[in-house]
């Protein structure tokens, strides 16, 4: 029984459980999509007023927005327990993860699956489609570019996942990390909806390093839209995602060691 199959079984069970209340599930998905699209409404208001932001037009910004929300929506769907990890330390539930013969992170992720959060990815996908349609019609993007964009949006979920893993690991020392999430997750991901060119240099640096949300969308999009970067930007984005999660996982293991010595 490998990890992927185990997770697959959980996802299936979770889905079955939620599907029992069909209306409820559809409503939740729709509502979550509506909630998150409010971000776009704000963005659209700005774009309609200013035509261009940092040299990017509304469809180009829509591209960034869509990629960002697909990544975020996927992360929220597959990793809700990581998102709310501090609960496990506060209520001593981490012990229950340690008595299972699997890596704790895997057992943790296998505890819950929230398919209704795909609503966020769906609204991001819709915005992405509209933007990409216009950009292909304008000849800025071709079919291959679009394929890459879709793949990158999915792989981009590694970035919020890595950010979440770092934040959650802090709970081993600090316990309540919920307060940190606006800084380590919500703010950076929201910031990635706009081209980095609108931000001051220090912020551009921050968003391409410690809080590397630029690798979800801006860095590859920049190159595809002919606004800078190189073909390596296309490689850098997924490569960075994998490296980022690897380092975050090493940090998690450090936290686990700390837990073994101090308890909760």
Among 26, 35, 98, 254, which residue interacts with another protein (rule: CB under 8 A)? 98
Residue 176, interface with another protein (CB under 8 A)?
no
The residue among 17 and 147 lying less far from another protein, judged by its C-beta, is 17
Nearest distance in Å: CB 252, another protein:
15
User: CB 167 → another protein: shortest distance, Å?
Assistant: 21
Q: Does 51 bind another protein (CB under 8 A)?
A: no
Tell me 249's DSSP state.
H
Q: Does 102 bind another protein (CB under 8 A)?
A: yes
DSSP H or E segment with residue 229: none
Q: How many residues contact another protein, by CB under 8 A?
A: 27
Whether the CB-CB separation of 245 and 161 falls below 8 Å is answered with: yes
Window of 12-20, 54-62, 217-225, 232-240 that interacts with another protein by CB under 8 A: 12-20
Among candidate residues 152, 127, 10, 145, the one with its CA nearest the CA of residue 79: 10
Task: By CB under 8 A, tell whether 173 contacts another protein.
Answer: no
Which residues are 53's β-sheet partners? Answer: 56
Of the residues 110, 119, 125, 162, which one makes contact with another protein according to CB under 8 A: 110
Query: Closest separation between CB of residue 29 and another protein, Å?
Result: 16
Task: Based on the shown chain and the rule CB under 8 A, indicate whether residue 260 belongs to the binding site for another protein.
Answer: yes
The answer to whether 165 and 78 are in contact (CB under 8 A) is no
- Quick check: 15 binds another protein (CB under 8 A)? no
Stretch that binds another protein, among 8-16, 75-83, 147-155, 195-203 (CB under 8 A): 8-16
- CA 110 – CA 106 distance, rounded (Å): 6
Query: Taking CB under 8 A as the rule, does residue 204 contact another protein?
Result: no
- Are the beta carbons of 142 and 54 closer than 8 angstroms? no
What DSSP line would sit under 22-86, residue for residue?
HHHHHHHHHHHHHHHHHHHHHHHHHHHHHSEETTEEHHHHHHHHHHHHHHHHHHHHH-HHHHTTH
**What is the closest distance, in whole angstroms, from the C-beta atom of residue 99 to another protein in the complex?**
5
Residue 76 CB, nearest approach to another protein (Å):
17
| Contact pick of 38, 50, 91, 205 for another protein (by CB under 8 A) | 91
Q: Does 87 bind another protein (CB under 8 A)?
A: no
**C-alpha distances out from residue 75 to 3, 21, 54, 175, 212, Å:** 18, 23, 28, 22, 15
CB crowding 35-63: b at 16 or more within 10 Å, else e: ebbebbeebbeebeeeeebeebbbbbbbb
In the set 100, 137, 176, 210, which binds another protein (CB under 8 A)? 100
Rg (CA), the chain: 19
Q: Which of 111, 134, 204, 227 binds another protein (CB under 8 A)?
A: 111
**Per-position DSSP letters for 127-155, written without gaps between them:** HHHHHHHHHHHTTS--HHHHHHHHHHHHH
* Residues found near another protein in the complex (CB under 8 A): 1, 5-6, 9-10, 13-14, 16-17, 91-93, 95-96, 98-102, 107, 110-112, 260-263
């Amino acid at each position: 029984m490998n990890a992927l199959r185990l997770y697959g079984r959980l996802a299936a069970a979770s889905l079955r459980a939620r599907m029992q209340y069909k209306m409820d599930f559809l409503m939740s998905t729709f509502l979550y999509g509506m909630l998150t699209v409010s971000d776009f409404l704000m963005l659209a208001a700005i774009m309609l007023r200013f035509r261009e932001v940092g040299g990017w037009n509304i469809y180009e910004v829509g591209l960034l927005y869509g990629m960002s929300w697909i990544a975020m929506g996927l992360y929220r769907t597959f990793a809700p327990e990581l998102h709310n990890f501090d609960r496990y330390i506060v209520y001593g539930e981490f012990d229950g993860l340690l008595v299972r013969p699997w890596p704790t992170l895997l057992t943790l992720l296998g505890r819950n699956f929230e398919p209704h959060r795909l609503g966020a990815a769906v609204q991001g996908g819709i915005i992405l489609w509209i933007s990409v349609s216009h950009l292909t019609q304008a000849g800025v993007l071709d079919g291959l570019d679009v394929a890459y964009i879709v793949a990158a949006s999915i792989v981009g979920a590694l970035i919020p996942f890595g950010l979440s893993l770092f934040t959650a690991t802090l709970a081993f020392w600090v316990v309540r990390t919920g307060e940190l999430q606006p800084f380590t997750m919500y703010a950076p991901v929201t910031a990635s909806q706009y081209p980095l060119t609108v931000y001051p240099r220090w912020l551009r640096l921050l968003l391409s390093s410690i809080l590397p949300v630029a690798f979800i969308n801006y860095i590859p999009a920049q190159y595809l839209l002919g606004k800078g970067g190189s073909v390596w930007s296309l490689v850098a984005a997924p490569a960075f995602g994998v490296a980022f999660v690897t380092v975050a996982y090493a940090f998690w293991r450090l936290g686990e060691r700390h837990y073994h010595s101090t308890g909760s």
